[in-house]
Amino acid sequence: MHDDLEQRKSQHLDLVQRGEVEPDAADPLFGCVRLIHRALPELSLDDVDLSTELCGRALKAPLMVTGMTGGTERAGQINRDLAALAQETGVAFGVGSMRILLDQPELLPTFAVQSRPPLLFANLGAQQLVQRGTDAALNLIDLIKADGIAIHLNAAQELVQEGGDRDFRGQVDAISRLVPRANVIVKETGCGISPPVVAELWDAGVRAVDVSGQGGTSWPRVEQLRAKTPESRGLGALLSDWGIPTAACVVAARMTSPQMQIVASGVIRSGLDAAKAIALGADVAGFALPMVRAHQQGGVATARETLKGCIAALKAAFLLCGARNAVALRASRPVLLEPLRSWIEGLAE
């Protein structure tokens, strides 16, 4: 079974290099967000302050490289390189699902990173948390000396995956038992988190979510590409654009819970997308696919270019809106176009 898990993680790294993992029909709706240009910014670029705080840690820029991988030597290199870049630029970083470590502790070096990003997250699926319990999650945090753990929700992917989980009961309870004992961020993996779920998580004590909305890497699509049976292939094709667009998730989550810390991932592909997510109410923008693609295509140098390019564009967007910081960017009130407005209205009902 574990060889399977190792092989699956390895296949994932190859498959996400293919264009089809971002289905054309999926749209995060960032195109419906228009930041308002300010012809008289009355700011120097040096005045723009991107620094922020997430889960009690100071970040130099409101960005997170979200959890992706681990378990193989190739994955270990990705984790080490991307964590080093996160440290260099002062942004948050998460390793991928550590499920495999629960039974194969010898794979720890593929998750353990020497660098110290300002915020480092371990990662485990909510269903594994249900099955293995709070202590297992706490141990994963200790093993890599992380600042906390991201608990991921991925029901759509599991349903498409042959042999994947079919029972998703008990997750909120399991999360509520973990929250008093660790810094927890609950994240989707590309299908979005709706307002009632944000409210439920808040009531369970969760204070940070990554809405990881639809429009970016589609895990039903990745599993469709791996599937061996027509049933899985069919369900994967059908669900490949399933979910709530990222932009709609962010606005709706912010309206539901003014105090929840919100990471917006799911097709953040540039500093401009990140600026839009922050203008909509996110505290931090997260991205995964662009970083792993850059790393696999051109190593650390290309990944560094991607991350630094994103930070530079983010800063440019702040300046062009006349915004010295995130509070001012939000106050610059972006124009929202259809169909995003209808999504927000529908989610608020």
Q: Which residues bind ligand FMN (CB under 6 A)?
A: 12-13, 16, 66-69, 96-97, 123, 150, 152, 187, 189-190, 212, 216-217, 265-268, 287-289, 292
Residue 248 amino acid letter: A
What's the CA gap between 243 and 264, in Å, rounded?
14
The upper half-sphere exposure of residue 333, i.e. CA atoms within 13 Å in the direction of its Cβ, equals 0
For ligand FMN, the closer of residues 190 and 271 by Cβ is 190
For ligand FMN, the closer of residues 52 and 69 by Cβ is 69
Which of these, 193, 200, 324, 209, lies nearest to 262 by C-alpha position?
A: 209
**Minimum distance of ligand FMN from residue 119's CB (angstroms):** 15
Q: Determine which helix (DSSP H) or strand (DSSP E) holds 261, and give its type and residue range.
A: strand 261-264
For ligand FMN, the closer of residues 52 and 66 by Cβ is 66
Judge whether 31 and 270 are in contact, CB under 8 Å: no
**Minimum distance of ligand FMN from residue 273's CB (angstroms):** 10
**Minimum distance of ligand FMN from residue 38's CB (angstroms):** 28
For ligand FMN, the closer of residues 275 and 323 by Cβ is 275
Which of these, 74, 110, 69, lies nearest to 217 by C-alpha position?
A: 69
For ligand FMN, the closer of residues 191 and 320 by Cβ is 191
**Minimum distance of ligand FMN from residue 189's CB (angstroms):** 4
**Minimum distance of ligand FMN from residue 181's CB (angstroms):** 20
**Minimum distance of ligand FMN from residue 104's CB (angstroms):** 15
For ligand FMN, the closer of residues 48 and 75 by Cβ is 75
**Minimum distance of ligand FMN from residue 47's CB (angstroms):** 29
What's the CA gap between 152 and 155, in Å, rounded?
10
Give the C-alpha distances (Å, rounded to integers) separating 182 from 52, 85, 149, 208: 21, 25, 7, 12
For ligand FMN, the closer of residues 67 and 236 by Cβ is 67
What's the CA gap between 199 and 162, in Å, rounded?
32
**Minimum distance of ligand FMN from residue 172's CB (angstroms):** 17
- The closest residue (CB) to ligand FMN is 216
Judge whether 135 and 95 are in contact, CB under 8 Å: no
Q: Determine which helix (DSSP H) or strand (DSSP E) holds 101, and give its type and residue range.
A: helix 99-103
Q: Which residues are registered as beta bridge partners of 34?
A: 335
**Structure tokens that stand for 71 in this block:** 């378990």
- Could you say which DSSP state residue 220 is in? H
* 180: helix, strand or coil: helix
For ligand FMN, the closer of residues 291 and 344 by Cβ is 291
